Amino acid sequence: MVDRILVTGGAGFVGSHVAEYYAENGKEVTVLDNFGRVEMLEKADETVDTPKYNESYLDNKFSNIDFVEGDVRDEEIVKDVIEGKDAIVHLAGQTANTQSMRTPRLDFEINAKGTLNILEEANRSESDPAIVYASTNQVYGQNVNDIPLDEKDQRFVFADDKYSEGLSEGFPIDHTVHDPYGVSKLTGDMYVQDYDKRTNLDATALRLSCIYGPRQFGNEDQGWVAHFAMSALRDQSFTIFGNGKQVRDVLYVDDLVNAIDSILSDPDGKSSVYNIGGGPEHTTSLLEFIDLIEEITGEQPSYSFDDWWEGDQRIWISDIRRAKNELNWEPKTSFEDGLEKYIDWAETAV
């Protein structure tokens, strides 16, 4: 039973939705956030302060959310905010592959050390909180690009039917190249699994694919669904790195929140890692997505092409069968419906 919950990074995109969900259900919610997105991401729009926007939204709507400005790298603050909580959703992190290449030490300190701080203080806490950690499909590195592909008009597809359900949690993570972001998130991921197995904590890592939805302000570094859609609404050109045929499974943010709650509402005996995304039924290539934007808005997006990003996965599709079977969960929102919801919100925010 979740009564008192800590959401690290709770003023971010996903965090604000987690905080909203539990606040609406009458829980005591504490948000820990350093409000540093603009400074953290080199390509972030300085006219849009996402954490402040989300803090204002939540603060105006709820009286049962307590905001604490602080950083997961600060052990004393982490200790203070964890004490008395029965659940933690750990979303605070450095979120961009590109930024990790520029500042790998900062990336490590936030994603790896920050996660260890959360686990250590939770393990010391008398309230014994259950933990859900936001990991990423980037933990699999460039092993994904070793899978043979066929190239169609608008997308890559797996050449082997073995991957018709996507890639499972057992897909290899070793003997390949990872960028610093993938390494730091994998470090946190492995710590979560270790603490789940070795201590009394119930801890779960969710290896997330592309999450999208209202209150997401994307940019070139991170959040491509929002970045493309928002750019189109602003009549601004954006860049596709590669040929646009790369494929991702996409998940509407409310569906992610439901997956998180399905774990926290009964954490005992859950697996320590799940792939969470839209799965094979909810995928898009970049080129297909651009066509969908035009179909919904009636406007043709303006874009150009540039070289592939280093290490970009040509296809990522999450095999979500473990989550379906163990959590009694599956995505409910189609990409078309989710994108319409996003655009409805974005049209009031641009």
Quick check: helix, strand or coil at residue 224? helix
Hey, how many other C-beta atoms are within 10 angstroms of the C-beta on 46?
Answer: 7
Identify the residue whose tokens are 């014994």: 128
Instruction: Provide the CA 215 distance to its chain's centre, in angstroms.
Output: 13
Catalogue the active-site residues: 181
Cβ contact 19:27 at 8 Å: no
In sequence order, what are the beta bridge partners of 29? 5, 65
> Half-sphere exposure (CA, 13 Å, Cβ side) for 35?
12
What is the rounded distance in angstroms from the CA atom of residue 39 to the CA atom of residue 35? 9
Tally of residues, the chain:
350
User: CA 82, CA 300: separation in Å to the nearest integer?
Assistant: 48
| CB 166, CB 173: distance < 8 Å | no
Q: How many CB atoms lie within 10 A of CB 321?
A: 15
Q: Which of 323, 341, 322 is nearest to 333 (CA)?
A: 341
Least Cα distance to 334 among 201, 215, 212, 192 occurs for 212
**C-beta separation of 331 from 255 below 8 A:** yes
